[in-house]
Amino acid sequence: MDIGVMFWAGRDDFGEIRSLVDCGQLGIGPGVELTPAFVAQWRDALGDFRLATVVCSFAGESYADVPAVEATVGFIPHSTRAARERRTSEISDFAAALDVPGIGCHIGFVPDDRTDADYIAVRDMVRRVCDHAAAHGQTFALETGQEPAEVLLRFLEDVGRGNLKINFDPANMILYGSGDPIAAFETLAPHVVSVHAKDGDPAPAAFEDQLGTERPLGEGSVDIARFIGALKRRGYHGTVNVEREIDDPRQRMEDIRRAVGLLRGLI
């Protein structure tokens, strides 16, 4: 297992990231233009730093609460579906230009009902994205958390593409109230290609539309030592990427630094 960091172009200081770790995942936000100059800039900056994944987020996404996520995130909203499919393909081309072996994103809440029109449309869209990525020899990883592990597993089987994988985020299972993260990992383990090291506490039971609260690694409800134990038990040998999503850049870097130290002790 290699310790990495999930960081974002234009937001995080890559020099600081690479002083901590030598691998990770690069996030590309919606405002970023994927020009040849941008590709060249990242190729020069990366050097021998190993990117496991290029992650994309989309214009108009909101993680304010559960209804906002349902309405705005990933491939589920109708009005942005075609544009987001194009953007995901462009991200795949960008990753290929940097020789990165995988791409990933949140696809949003997958409906439980397999006959639901949105379920079918998103399943078909994921097949097309997988096929585009496969032409570059890439995996396409879905971020966990917005549905229980069993729903995600059945969706994977329905899509039926060998390069469709999971980016497992144990904190998301807690933030979205989607089940115990360790049990979810055991269910999804054969499909997990990358992991986020993130922590959090659930929302109070009386506020079911609220998301839980992210915490510094080791201070939330994930039980990170038990999670790393589960990764070892299942023979996981991919990257374990610290993810910290708070606005204050200095506090974020400080939390990332401490999380890397914590993981070094556990791994």
Q: State the nearest-atom distance from the C-beta of 172 to Mg ion, in Å.
A: 6
Q: Note the Cα 89 to chain centre separation in Å.
A: 17
Stretch that binds Mg ion, among 25-33, 114-122, 166-174, 258-266 (CB under 5 A): 166-174
For residue 263, what are the CA distances in angstroms to 15, 57, 141?
20, 26, 23
For residue 216, what are the CA distances in angstroms to 10, 14, 54, 252?
22, 20, 23, 9
- At 260, the amino acid letter reads V
Q: State the nearest-atom distance from the C-beta of 182 to Mg ion, in Å.
A: 16
- DSSP H helices, 4-148, are 14-20, 36-46, 66-72, 81-97, 117-135
DSSP per-residue string spanning 224-258:
HHHHHHHHHHTT--SEEEE----S-HHHHHHHHHH
Nearer residue to Mg ion within complex by CB, 29 or 93: 29
Among 84, 87, 165, 196, binds Mg ion (CB under 5 A): 196
Nearer residue to Mg ion within complex by CB, 68 or 97: 68
Q: State the nearest-atom distance from the C-beta of 127 to Mg ion, in Å.
A: 23
- CA angle 115-141-234, nearest 5°? 105
Stretch that binds Mg ion, among 39-47, 98-106, 156-164, 194-202 (CB under 5 A): 194-202
Q: State the nearest-atom distance from the C-beta of 171 to Mg ion, in Å.
A: 7
Q: State the nearest-atom distance from the C-beta of 169 to Mg ion, in Å.
A: 4
CB 58 within 8 A of CB 84: yes
Q: State the nearest-atom distance from the C-beta of 210 to Mg ion, in Å.
A: 18
Nearest to 12 by CA among 247, 260, 207, 188: 247
Nearer residue to Mg ion within complex by CB, 199 or 243: 243
Nearer residue to Mg ion within complex by CB, 104 or 111: 104
Nearer residue to Mg ion within complex by CB, 115 or 147: 147
DSSP per-residue string spanning 201-226:
EPPPTT-TTS--EEE-TTSSSS-HHH
Report which residue's Cβ sits closest to Mg ion: 169
Nearer residue to Mg ion within complex by CB, 55 or 262: 55
Among 12, 61, 147, 169, binds Mg ion (CB under 5 A): 169
Interacting positions 220-249 with Mg ion (CB under 5 A): 243
Q: Which spans of this chain sit near Mg ion (rule: CB under 5 A)? A: 169, 196, 243
